[in-house]
Structure 1
């Protein structure tokens, strides 16, 4: 454990744990109006519409289970059944809002209400927390046995059961849910969304705050409600946005102090000689030097360059934004059929970034996890590639638009050509819709992997890049 992802309850660790994806051999296969797109996109209008169509399909996979529902995070082929990760659904809310269409707004509100319902009706907790994940509808285990306990039962009542050990809560996942709810509050003016976001912030302050030398907010709790010792740069970056949003929306200055605490931790993770951010700390005293992940380079720029907090000077923000150049150079990959363990069909190639510095040196002779394939060191992580494209466009340097355009072209090509024939709720997905999480099996270096399955999170980040929407700006 390297101070970023926790034990098996983490949404990413679960994906690579063998609990769901590829039980048995892994098999790979190679809506809204255009007005929001015209307002400033880097991608093609048809690709943008198809991405939004996938998010809608992921949300509508189980139509017989009422209006309170979440979106299935991955296509059925991933083997995670009807799992809806809280993080992915928060990203879907933000992407739906970014479309600025009536359908997008309605879907964002529905997903927000589903998170609020889970927050209010958890059978074990009534303290504002959300679990790592829920289930969105009926599904079948790999042995054929029916598992009826979805997010919504057939009688329309909610069930927040804990299949797959969904008993832990990570501060980062909570922060993104709070960011999404606060965005809904800002867009709709509806008080319940702000109240839900505040409850999340209060829980994080109570559970996560630490007075260790490096400060910041700890990782979260496991299923036994035991506090985890790690402190993550990524999580504290998320809190810079969430606490900043709460300060603006509530007018309560205490959130500014909490924002400053999270920001101070992030700044301590900066490596000025290399121009990048470290991943975090295990013990609150020692900074972890390796691996170095992508999202701590891109999300920091998106969060710290906020206009609502003018204490960040122009030179300050652009000094830290060197992390974008580090990610673009040091984590760059090109995947094609000639790469070892590549799942890319012959004649295709994809460029972008990988998950971390460890991904580039993964052992290609050893499976990523039990029942999983061997990794491709050059597998493209499309969610992270979208992070980078959006951050480059946000920075707006001399070459940034051209670099972002190349990255988005690669993502859109993947949407066209990868993940064909995949389903949600056993229903065919719209043609050429949805971005797979990775071009080939990818070892993150944090104990889990990403695979070529269509993914709500990756598609949502693509839509944010396409609509030039910075979700981390307070």
Structure 2
């Protein structure tokens, strides 16, 4: 608990000490190390050629799913350290999402957030299945705790988005929508989107187990799972997500098999490697300025894994 609280307290500090904004957002990344007084520090590097401090547009941005993910962490902490401000922090994060990412265009849901440098960031118009699932989980959790009608409405909007992006023909969840609002095709999917609905929605319908079978048929690789359907390597974090989903489905032997695969990916530092190959592709672009699919995982020790 003390180690977890250090992370939670750092998130609360970032929430209340942004260098530019006071609207309840957090950034996609922060500088590693002790948290100083004052504004939360963002990652960057000294560009010797241009003689300036450089930063990354994605890291400076705010993805809706990352805000919700941090809120879920705070709600977990609230269960063990009530009254420490973690629930209030999660509520403020959800407030940023509902104020800045709500999109009534069909299918109604929550858009991707914003990208780029302060103060004129680019609004991301696409909607992500993963993001909306995260939002549903946060709103449903807060509603269980406090019973506020607005949380129930937020959870319901995100849940309806999940229903809208489920493709019953192949039995698969789409990635989400395009920036123009069109449903993404089903020929390119991601592993986490197939798994998380079963553990993020309390009343997930039985039909939502079909994407697990789809993942087993189309995304399995190297004793576990790849991020996407090209099967170019093992995605360790996603394989752990699959193990958790198997356990939730009472498929204990399958979960243990995947955990055995994961156990073979421990780095000398004790952290897990992100992948078992030098570079794992995802078929996804990092930000709106990307001209090609440039979101990769590398065989490096990885906190997420």
Fold shared by both chains (TM-score > 0.5): yes
Match of 1:394 in 2: 248
Cα distance in 1 for partners of 2:140, 2:131 equals: 14
- Which fold has the larger relative contact order, with Cα–Cα distance below 8 Å and residues 6 or more apart in sequence? 1
Q: Report Cα offsets for 1:440-473 as digits up to 9, x if no partner.
A: 0211111221111111111xxxxxxxxxxxxxxx
Structure with bigger gyration radius: 1
Cα deviation per residue 1:69-115 (whole Å; 9 max; x = unaligned)?
xxxxxxxxxxxxxxxxxxxxxxxxxxxxxxxxxxxx11111110011
Q: Are residue 109 (structure 1) and residue 5 (structure 2) matched?
A: yes
Tell me whether 1:121 sits opposite 2:14 in the alignment: no
Q: 2:265 aligns with which of 414, 420, 423?
A: 414
- The reply on whether 1:454 has 2:292 as its aligned counterpart is no
CA contact (8 A) 1:328 1:388 kept: no
Q: How does 1:342-353 map to 2 (within 5 A)?
A: 351-353=223-225
Q: Is the 8 A contact 1:172 1:236 kept in 2?
A: yes
Deviations, residues 33-62 of structure 1 (Å, cap 9, x unaligned): xxxxxxxxxxxxxxxxxxxxxxxxxxxxxx
DSSP 3-state at the match of 2:224 = strand
Say if 1:214 and 1:284, in contact at 8 Å, map to a contact too: no
Instruction: Write the distance in 1 (CA, Å) between the matches of 2:38 and 2:103.
Output: 38
The aligned counterpart of 1:188 is: 81
Cα 1:211–1:108, aligned 2, differ >3 Å: closer, same or farther?
A: same
Q: In the TM superposition, what is the alpha-carbon distance from 1:250 to its structure 2 partner?
A: 2.6
Q: Residues 214-240 of structure 1: CA distance to partner in whole angstroms, max 9, x if unpaired?
A: 111000012233311110000001111
SS in 1 for 2:272: coil
Give the conservation status (yes or no) of the 8 Å contact 1:278–1:292. Answer: yes
Aligned pairs (5 A) from 1:231-246: 231-246=127-142
1:380 aligns with 2:261: no
* Distance verdict in 2 for CA 1:319–1:394, change over 3 Å: same
**Deviation for aligned residue 1:262:** 0.4
- Answer whether contact 1:215 1:284 (CA < 8 A) is retained: no
Q: Return the offset for 1:158.
A: 5.3
In the alignment, is residue 331 of structure 1 matched against residue 227 of structure 2?
no
The one-character-per-residue Cα deviations of 1:227-279 (angstroms, maximum 9, x if unpaired) are 11110000001111011111122321110110000010011111112121010
Q: Is the 8 A contact 2:124 2:179 kept in 1?
A: no
Partner of 1:88: none
User: What does 1:15-26 correspond to in 2, within 5 Å?
Assistant: none
1:260 aligns with 2:159: no
Q: 1:189 to 1:284 in 2, by over 3 A?
A: farther
Provide the secondary structure at the position in 2 that maps to 1:228: strand
Distance (Å, rounded) in 2 between the aligned partners of 1:284 and 1:261: 19
Matches within 5 A, 1:7-406: 105-137=1-33, 152-153=35-36, 159-161=40-42, 163=44, 164-165=55-56, 166-223=59-116, 224-283=120-179, 285-289=181-185, 290-304=187-201, 306=202, 312=203, 317-334=205-222, 351-357=223-229, 359-360=230-231, 377=232, 379-396=233-250, 400-406=251-257
Distance 1:198 1:409 in 2: 37
Contact 2:13 2:40 in 1 (8 A): no
Q: For structure 2, which runs of at least 5 residues remain unmatched after alignment?
A: 45-54, 285-292
Moved over 6 A (4+): none
Task: Quote the Cα distance in structure 2 between the aligned partners of 1:387 and 1:229.
Answer: 27
Match of 2:108, SS state, is coil
Q: Deviations over 1:261-300 (max 9, x none)?
A: 0010011111112121010001353211141000000111
Unpaired segments ≥5 residues, structure 1? 1-104, 138-150, 307-311, 335-350, 361-376, 421-428, 459-474
- Report the CA distance between 1:152 and its aligned residue: 3.4
1:442 aligns with 2:280: yes
